[in-house]
Amino acid sequence: MTDTLENLATESRSFPPSPEFVAQSNVTAAIYDEAAADRLGFWAEQAQRLDWAQPWTEVLDWSDAPFAKWFVGGRLSVAYNCVDRHVDNGLGSRAAIIFEPESGEAETITYADLQKRVSQAANALTELGVEAGDRVAIYMPMIPQAVVAMLACARIGAPHSVVFGGFSAEALRSRIEDAEAKVVITTDGQFRRGSSMPLKPAVDEAVEHCPTVQKVLVVRRTGDDVAWNDERDVWWHDVVATAPDTHEAQDFDAEHPLFILYTSGTTGKPKGILHTSGGYLTQASYTHNTVFDLKPETDVYWCTADIGWVTGHSYIVYGPLSNGATQVIYEGTPDTPHKGRWWEIVQKHKVSILYTAPTAIRTFMKWGADIPAQYDLSSLRLLGSVGEPINPEAWMWYRDVIGGGRCPIVDTWWQTETGAMMISPLPGVTECKPGSAMRALPGIGAVIVDDHGEPVGPGGGGYLVLSEPWPSMLRGIWGDPQRYKDTYWSRWPQYYFAGDGAKYDEDGAIWLLGRVDDVMNVSGHRISTTEVESALVSHPAVAEAAVVGATDETTGQGIVAFVILRGGIEDGPELVQELRKHVGHEIGPIAKPRQILVVPELPKTRSGKIMRRLLRDVAENRSLGDVTTLADPTIMNLIQQGLGAGN
């Protein structure tokens, strides 16, 4: 948890929206009352923001709870709503995407351009044998073709499974295999900090064990040489760029699967979170418009996430494009070619809405306020935060240094599973407190409950649950409905359990406190402790491992691993680095432990359960809690003596 309850309770600063912002806001405080008076009517009204090929007959069918159906009987095309309808409405010349590569000239793609590119990709995928219902895996960097690929899949009804380009071949394989993907779309490589890094070799390694994959579609990005299988591999420029640029978007049932996105679970096996079409797009579109106070005619919006995460799905692809927004997409890192790169982009493209993660904000704080001070950031009018709880100090720095003291901040809470924002201030309505997500959005039921599932009052803390079904909610775990029920609905069957702790302050504002299960939040990315432990134990030197998330001032949580070596293996810095590298290979660089501590034994209860609470105490240099339940309490002394042995 990034803050203690005591720290949160003493936060008294608050910032009301300015009169100027209120005067032009998209919504007023009345929206809360409207949603509370007729929740389903409210969501039906939000759905009318989209174009439907066939109207629905029922807003919500909850008869098979916890499996929801929203806008029953309705049909729509997600791709048409994100692209074609803007062209049909005379907005074809509006910039949809301003692509800023890591180096080189920026490229502006209008909605008319996007329509042609998505049509070409849809035609090409059809020629490659992809049909409605087939799954397509996408393993790409932040380039326009990634967005085009997602929209092309949506256009032909093929659910996509986007896998973060930083994941390993093994992580990619498990996701391709679980979804039984028919086609994989990737690139030869990606640019990162001035160098080209290969991507296709990971795909080659992964698909060797995935017999469902028939074709690998490859974008030439870096120009590096790649291994080639003539029977399986095809170049994007050979089949997409030469395909017809007209294609009639197909409409599908509101509950037709739109995408699968894998996220870490407590078992270590990634969960394929399934999202469908009508309800998901309704909430992504509504929240993007309302929370960001979007003015599509004048705003330039920039979400700094990667499309491999749900933030990229909902607030780079589907939310902004359904609203006809103009947005920046940046390929590179914040420090390439210099530490002012983001602020250079804000100045260059007159970005007005910026949505980023607390990890990035804390990194910029470390680098110093003198760097953004070199750039004109006066175009910014609203700032957003996503991915993990933001500490008040970072919130204030973001407001004062980046926002010039004038920009409202929307600190948003939501998950891969929720599909869209659930808790957030409304910038023209809410008086914000630094570090608090404030309250549930209109139409959303969010409650904090105690161990018995009873709601707590102001000043109380416990578990964050969702009390009402919502349009963009996950429809299950791909191929495993029982795991869906067990994971999210078994603790309190009347509630969706989010897995996060939370607290109300005395005014009823919500403060998120991080995960309460065995999932770590590292730079906004959920990583299972079990997944990292399994990777460590797969190394021949490791007999046993236990992993915990420890507070980290930059990333929110850092991964700390405690390992027992097999007999005859000698400890040393070289082994620690080898183990870190091994985890990176098995899962991806994001999962490399911050620290690996070789220990003689792990603290276990008499029943054999590892006491991770005590390991967290060690990792965070806290005094140890109660050790009387351990089979051997002296073990903690041995572990503490070895602290700092490896990094």
> Could you report the per-residue pLDDT of 546-594, keeping only the tens digit for each?
899 888 888 888 999 999 898 888 888 999 999 999 999 988 999 999 9
Tokens 């073709």: give the residue.
145
Beta strands in 372-495 (DSSP E): 382-385, 409-411, 446-449, 461-466
Give the closest residue to 559 by CA, choosing from 601, 599, 531.
531
Pairing of strands 519-522, 510-515: unpaired
> What number is the average pLDDT over the span 343-353?
98
State the sign of the Cα–Cα–Cα–Cα dihedral 143, 555, 448, 460.
Answer: negative
Asked if the structure places residue 124 within a domain, the reply is yes
Structural domain includes residue 77? no
The dihedral region occupied by 217, where left means phi > 0, alpha psi between -120 and 50, and beta the remainder, is beta
Triad 638, 642, 647: Cα angle to 5° = 150
Q: How far is CA 169 from the centre of its chain?
A: 20
E-only strand ranges, 1-76: 58-64, 67-72, 75-76
* Nearest in space to 613 (alpha carbons), one of 544, 541, 529: 529
* pLDDT at site 20: 95
Per the listing, tokens 């295999």 go with: 177
Reading phi first (left if > 0) and then psi (alpha if -120 to 50, else beta), residue 404 is in left
Taking a C-beta distance cutoff of 8 angstroms, is the pair 471, 70 a contact? yes
User: Averaged over 47-54, what is the pLDDT?
Assistant: 98
Encode burial over 180-200: b for 16+ CB neighbours within 10 A, e otherwise. Answer: bbbbbbbbbbbbbeeeeebbb
Tokens 């349009």 — which residue?
Answer: 471
Would you say 235 and 220 are in contact if contact means Cβ atoms under 8 Å apart?
yes
pLDDT above 80: residue 605: no
| Percentage, residues of the chain above pLDDT 90 | 76
pLDDT tens-digit series, residues 270-328: 899 999 999 999 999 999 999 999 999 999 999 999 999 999 999 999 999 999 999 99
Helices (H), 65-106: 78-79, 85-88
pLDDT band at 378 (very low <50, low <70, confident <90, very high): very high
Strands (E), 78-140: 95-100, 107-110, 136-139
Residue at 568 is within a domain? yes
Structure tokens that stand for 50 in this block: 């989209």
Query: CA 405, CA 395: separation in Å to the nearest integer?
Result: 11
33: tokens are: 């009352």
Does residue 66 have a cis peptide bond before it, meaning omega lies within 30 degrees of 0? yes
DSSP label of 275: E
Residue 214 and residue 113: Cα distance in Å, rounded? 29
Alpha-carbon distance of 367 to 619, in angstroms, equals 26
The confidence score (pLDDT) of residue 625 equals 67
Per the CB < 8 A criterion, the answer to whether 90 and 69 are in contact is: no
- DSSP secondary structure string for all residues of 324-368: T-EEEEE-S-TTSS-TTHHHHHHHHHT--EEEE-HHHHHHHHHH-
Give 556's strand partners.
552
Q: Which of 424, 370, 362, 363 is nearest to 393 (CA)?
A: 362
Residue where a domain terminates, one of 200, 225, 253 = 253
**So what's the pLDDT on residue 144?**
98
DSSP for 495-510, please give it: SEEEEEEEEE-TT--E
Residue at which a domain ends, from 253, 285, 320: 253
State the Cα torsion 602-618-461-315 to the nearest 10°. -90
The per-residue pLDDT of the chain, averaged, comes to 92
pLDDT in tens, 415-443: 999 999 999 999 999 999 999 999 999 99
292 in a structural domain:
no
Residues with Cβ within 8 Å of residue 396, at least 6 apart in sequence: 13, 434
* Closest among 65, 1, 25 to 425, alpha carbons compared: 25
Please report the pLDDT score of residue 390 as a whole number: 86
H-assigned helices in 208-318: 236-239, 278-291, 310-312
Residue whose token pair is 């990619």: 172
Q: Which of 530, 541, 600 is nearest to 575 (CA)?
A: 541
pLDDT level of residue 614 (50, 70, 90 thresholds): confident
Residue 580 belongs to a domain: yes
> Is the residue at 552 inside a domain?
yes
**Count of domains observed in the chain:** 2
pLDDT band at 8 (very low <50, low <70, confident <90, very high): very low
Strand 215-219 to 257-263 pairing: unpaired
Taking the model in full, what pTM does it have?
A: 0.86
CA distance 304 to 321: 16
Say how far apart CA 463 and CA 455 lie, in whole Å: 9
Residue with tokens 């659930």: 422
Query: What are the backbone dihedrals phi and psi of residue 292, each rounded to the nearest 5 degrees, phi first?
Result: -95, 0
Beta strands across the sheet bearing 595-598? 542-552, 556-565, 595-598
pLDDT single digits (tens) 16-48: 999 999 999 999 999 999 999 999 999 999 999
Q: What is the CATH number of the domain that holds 150?
A: 3.40.50.980
Strand 382-385 and strand 353-356: pairing? parallel
Read out DSSP for 288-321? Answer: HHHHTT--TTT-EEEE---TTSHHHIIIIIIHHH
pLDDT in tens, 487-544: 999 999 999 999 888 999 999 999 988 777 777 888 877 787 877 887 898 899 998 8
Long-range contacts of 370-376 (CB under 8 A, 24+ apart): 371/339, 371/340, 371/343, 372/340, 372/343, 372/401, 372/402, 373/401, 374/340, 374/343, 375/340, 375/343, 375/344, 375/346, 375/347, 376/347
pLDDT bucket at 632, cuts 50 / 70 / 90: low
Structure tokens at 114: 């996007």
The answer for residues whose C-beta is within 8 angstroms of residue 575's C-beta and 6 or more apart is 541, 565, 569, 598
pLDDT the model gives residue 631? 62
Tell me the one-letter amino acid at 113: D
pLDDT of residue 630 exceeding 70: no
Last residue of a domain, one of 231, 253, 275: 253
Model pLDDT, residue 602: 83
> Would residue 562 count as lying in a domain?
yes
H or E stretch covering 113:
helix 111-127
Residue keyed to tokens 């039984």: 180
- What range does the domain containing 586 cover? 522-641
The more confident residue out of 498 and 216 is 216
Going by C-beta distance under 8 Å and a sequence separation of 6 or more, which residues neighbour residue 189? 196, 197, 198, 199, 200, 221, 222, 224, 226
- Where residue 615 sits, what CATH number does that domain have? 3.30.300.30
Scanning 142-185, the segments in alpha helix (DSSP H) are: 144-156, 169-179
And the tokens for 121?
A: 């990709």
Contact 124, 239 (CB under 8 A): yes
**Residue 358: inside a domain:** no
Amino acid sitting at position 526: R
Longest CA span, the chain: 74
